[in-house]
Amino acid sequence: MHQPSKTPSIREIPVADAAAGPYGIAAGPDGALWLTLVHGGRIARLALDGTLTEYALDSPECRPTVITPGPDGALWFTRSQDHRIGRVTTDGEVESFSLPTPDSGPFGITAGPDGALWFTQMNTGRIGRVSTKGEITEFALPDEVAEGAFPAAITAGPDGALWFALNQAHAIGRLTVDGDFALHPLPTPGAAPVGITSDGTALWCVEIGAGQIGRITVDGEITEFPLPDRTAKPHAIVAAAAGDCWFTEWGANRVGRITDSGEITEYDLPSPSSEPHGIALGPDGALWVALETGGVARVAR
């Protein structure tokens, strides 16, 4: 028999202000949380004891967006405003790499199965690959898909391919490391997926336009689970274990949990209108959420 999960304790930690805008969050190899300050043009490191360190980037207007640990022990992030990929070591050394295609608007980024980083380019319908030495390759999506598709978050799938949300094509894309592309349209019109994650067995996405969570098998079979509040605007999602995903509800000031069976539980964040965006599984086993109004929420499972 399924036992209902206990209500998690949620604690908020101020790390900046709304003018800085915490947005992306990731667990680093050093046992700390790393954040992008999207409006402040900085990267922040938050230790589990609350110690905060900030690293300025060379362009305050670069809009660091999504951040992920790389295979080289550094953190890698997209700079959506000046169209670069950034890298920061755990010691705070920062560098960046320009993209071949102008004005491409990189957004999502993930470590791939091939020892490189893979990222989306919102404005130009491309998926990019950057080696740990900064060598960049781009893969253009098919013309019938690329125009206005708005690739968003990206994750490495359990099948050795890259999976990504196509926000304005209302679909999920799959790309092999050799560049073979497949398209999986979501059943609900106007789904507008943003976040995507792998739980090691299947892919899960959030449909910000439809107020739903989607589950996609590696064979492309899609199941959708409506949220109790269809206007909640789910934004980012992360897997804590197989069949156990957590997501942010940007429009409803909540975090939610969904299981393989489709059971959804939701939890209000303490501060009103805190604009939860990125979410990550921390080194302490808790969920950590970036709040664009200036904080981080720790959700103890």
Cα 234 to chain centroid distance, Å, stands at 12
What length does the chain have? 301
Q: How many CA atoms lie within 13 A of 126 on its CB side?
A: 20
DSSP state of 62: S
The yes-or-no answer on residue 170 being catalytic is: no
d(CA 189, CA 269): 30
- Residue 292 in marked binding region: yes
Annotated active-site residue in 39, 83, 170, 277: 277
Pick from 56, 51, 50: nearest CA to 36: 56
φ/ψ of residue 222, rounded to 5: -115, 135
207 is in an annotated binding site: no
275 is in an annotated binding site: yes
Helices (DSSP H) in 64-147: which residue ranges? 143-146
Separation of alpha carbons 31 and 37, rounded Å = 19
The binding site for substrate comprises 235
Catalytic residues: 277
The binding site comprises 235, 275, 292
